[in-house]
Amino acid sequence: MKFAVLVFPGSNCDIDMYHAIKDELGEEVEYVWHDATDLSEFDGVLIPGGFSYGDYLRCGAMANQSNVMAEVKKFAQAGKPVLGVCNGFQILTEAGLLPGALLRNKNLKFMCRTVGLKVTNNDTLFTNQYEAGEVINIPIAHGEGNYFCDDKTLAELKANNQIVFTYSGENPNGSLEDIAGIINERGNVLGMMPHPERAVDALLGSNDGLKVFKSIVKMWRESHVS
């Protein structure tokens, strides 16, 4: 399986993503600059965290205007997997690929620490290697991770089982309903605030995030068995 790791001016978790795929999974991966206009050679797209364009306007808003995002939208429409983490999640909401928005943390402070996440839906392209209800330890590092949506959207997320991860034991940023990660209705686009790519080896303090990437590869291989 071949992954693209998108790189915007201000991305700072692209190397972590690359490491997770190349060194931990042993799959193919390439960095793709924000002005790219073709993603056809890739099987999965990873949108890393950081501060794209310095977050000077609104997190993810300027990144959404990049050439590559038009291709990401086509990629997602084709049913291929797209994972956005932290700033990547913000970009996906700005692009309309996921509903809702990420607001300033409730305490108005940047937070960087490990939190507990509950796998609320393990029947997805991104979570099939986890147990339902499993609690995992994943780092967060964000200032605008407070997920919000209107009542209608929240009802739809619940009805369609689109809430994939919720904070367990502590809601660090004030997110609605403890939401930490959601998928689109089709199930091929996941946005999450915590960083699974920073939890792929015990040397990092946790390898609980590795199963996110293993889940993607497993589903891709099953769909490509001749």
Is residue 29 a contact partner of residue 68, using CB atoms and an 8 Å limit?
no
Of residues 58 and 196, which shows the higher confidence score? Answer: 196
Is 195 a known active-site residue? yes
Write down the pTM of the prediction: 0.96
What are the pLDDT digits (tens) for 119-156? 999 999 999 999 999 999 999 999 999 999 999 999 99
What are the pLDDT digits (tens) for 72-83? 999 999 999 999
Is 19 a known active-site residue? no
Amino acid 226: pLDDT: 54
The Cα–Cα gap between 101 and 109 comes to 18
Q: What's domain 2-223's superfamily in CATH?
A: Class I glutamine amidotransferase (GATase) domain (3.40.50.880)
Average pLDDT of 194-205? 94
Task: Kindly name the residue from 19, 34, 71, 86 that is annotated as catalytic.
Answer: 86
Is 197 a known active-site residue? yes
